[in-house]
């Protein structure tokens, strides 16, 4: 079954007897036992719920994984995953990460005795250089947020498998529609389901997808113990959103490609970060490991004044955090997604007052371009 069909028909609700086309919302906290020592397969919704089970099955199939676990947010998924590690463990992570991941690692995970090295993952030889006896995992975003660095997943997988390390890949930007990290050697895939998987900016969700039963069992134990599970209604919203994932991703990528080209030729834009541009340093890696380039663009403008004017003048593109919905959103990373990263560290990565990040939606591309054109006027 092709992925666009899987998005629509990836799961069958065997517990429903009505013939409903849509998966019902099982809005219940607990389930009746048929008899002592017997179970319907559902006991308590923190452990499993029929609606959540369906979205987990679909995500696992889309990512070609053994199991998927649905959480109340992307950060809840990452926080639960970090419970796999113990005090003294060491993790190598992308230097360019979503600010929420950095906040979790540098404050909560370090408090719990886990140490980190942040490196540019596009230089895979640097990974070997920082591996220690206590290293347990490599954590990457590709493309990264917000600088759009691309990591060669298969090359990193060779390093991690040779040394018995976990390879964890945040696949939020490309989704399984464009990229399949487990097929390239990853052990765990992360999603902020809030973004493209939902696609409508109307719910929070997170997913972990694993490549083995052993990881599934360990994470499901953590899952039921910590309890940040996805609610039945939010599970239903993700199922609904997934039905249009393929058509949304194609349209958003088409729009992003045209917009990135237009931005590259604008006099007030000094640099464009989009993996789909031939000028991007990781363009060939992207072509090798992904079916597409996605719809996330970061770009630098000529001054802080220009950046702030854009944010205040846009009418179709909305000045808001998040990404991946049908609406185009424009974000100021230094004040929003990466506000908690120390200034010197942030600016060293290129996240400064002239950098904007845009999630390109499904509006008519001519309207998006005209909107940015008027916002960029002197």
**Does residue 155 share a domain with residue 110?**
yes
Considering its fold, how many domains does the chain have in total? 2
Helices (DSSP H) in the chain: which residue ranges? Answer: 3-9, 50-63, 74-81, 99-103, 110-111, 125-130, 153-163, 175-178, 213-226, 232-242, 245-264, 283-289, 304-313, 343-348, 365-375
Judged by DSSP in three states, 171 sits in coil
Tell me what pLDDT residue 230 has.
98
**Does residue 261 share a domain with residue 205?**
no
Domain range enclosing 76:
3-242
**Does residue 163 share a domain with residue 88?**
yes
Residues 221-240: what's their mean pLDDT? Answer: 97
**Does residue 251 share a domain with residue 237?**
no
Tokens, residue 312: 């205040």
CA distance 71 to 223: 8
Which of the listed residues 187, 214, 242 is the one where a domain comes to its end?
242
**Does residue 337 share a domain with residue 228?**
no
Tokens, residue 91: 């993790």
Round to the nearest angstrom and report the end-to-end CA distance of the chain.
52
Which of the listed residues 242, 275, 301 is the one where a domain comes to its end?
242
Q: Is the pLDDT of residue 14 over 70?
A: no
**Does residue 215 share a domain with residue 304?**
no
**Does residue 234 share a domain with residue 287?**
no
Tokens, residue 148: 């759009």
Which of the listed residues 181, 210, 242 is the one where a domain comes to its end?
242
**Does residue 139 share a domain with residue 288?**
no
Q: Is the pLDDT of residue 339 over 90?
A: no
The DSSP call for residue 108 is I
CA distance 354 to 299: 8
Tell me what pLDDT residue 342 has.
83
State pLDDT tens for residues 195-216.
Answer: 999 999 999 999 999 999 999 9
**Does residue 266 share a domain with residue 203?**
no
**Which CATH number is 317's domain given?**
3.90.1150.10
Catalytic residue set: 46, 98, 170, 195
**Does residue 284 share a domain with residue 204?**
no
pTM: 0.96
Spell out the residues 6+ positions from residue 273 whose beta carbon is closer than 8 angstroms to its own.
146, 147, 148, 280, 297, 298, 299
**Does residue 208 share a domain with residue 84?**
yes
**Does residue 288 share a domain with residue 221?**
no
State pLDDT tens for residues 103-146.
Answer: 999 999 999 999 999 999 878 889 999 999 999 999 999 999 99
**Which CATH number is 28's domain given?**
3.40.640.10
Using an 8 Å Cβ cutoff, are 171 and 181 in contact?
yes
């Amino acid at each position: 079954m092709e992925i666009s069909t899987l998005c629509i028909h990836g799961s069958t609700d065997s517990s429903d007897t009505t013939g409903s086309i849509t998966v019902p919302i099982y809005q219940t906290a607990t389930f009746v036992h048929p008899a002592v020592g017997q179970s319907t397969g559902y006991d308590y919704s923190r452990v499993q719920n029929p609606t959540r089970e369906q979205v987990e099955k679909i995500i696992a199939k889309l990512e070609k994984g053994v199991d998927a676990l649905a959480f109340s947010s992307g950060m809840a998924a990452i926080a639960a995953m970090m419970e796999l590690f113990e005090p003294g463990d060491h993790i190598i992570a992308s230097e360019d990460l979503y600010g929420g991941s950095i906040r979790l690692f540098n404050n909560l995970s370090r408090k719990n005795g886990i140490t980190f090295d942040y490196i540019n993952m596009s230089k895979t030889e640097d990974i070997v250089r920082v591996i220690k006896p206590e290293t347990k995992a490599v954590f990457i975003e590709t493309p990264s947020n917000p600088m759009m660095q691309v990591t060669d997943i298969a090359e990193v997988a060779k390093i991690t498998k040779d040394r018995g390390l976990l390879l964890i890949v945040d696949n939020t930007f490309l989704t399984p529609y464009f990229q399949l990290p487990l097929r390239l050697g990853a052990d765990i895939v992360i999603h902020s389901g809030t973004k493209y998987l939902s696609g409508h900016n109307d719910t929070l969700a997170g997913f972990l997808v694993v490549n083995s039963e052993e990881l599934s069992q360990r994470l499901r134990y953590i899952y039921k113990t910590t309890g940040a599970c996805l609610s039945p209604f939010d599970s239903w919203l993700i199922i609904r959103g997934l039905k249009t994932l393929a058509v949304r991703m194609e349209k958003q990528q088409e729009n992003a490609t045209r917009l990135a080209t237009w931005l590259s030729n604008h006099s007030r834009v000094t640099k464009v970060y989009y993996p789909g541009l031939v000028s991007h340093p990781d363009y060939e890696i992207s072509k090798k490991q992904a079916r597409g380039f996605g719809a996330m663009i970061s770009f630098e403008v000529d001054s802080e004044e220009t950046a702030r004017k854009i944010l205040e003048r846009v009418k179709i593109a909305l000045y808001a955090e998040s990404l991946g919905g049908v609406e185009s959103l424009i974000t100021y990373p230094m004040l929003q997604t990466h506000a908690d990263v120390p200034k010197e560290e942030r600016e060293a990565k290129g996240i400064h007052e002239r950098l904007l990040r845009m999630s390109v939606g499904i509006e008519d591309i001519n309207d998006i371009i005209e909107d940015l054109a008027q916002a960029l006027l002197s």
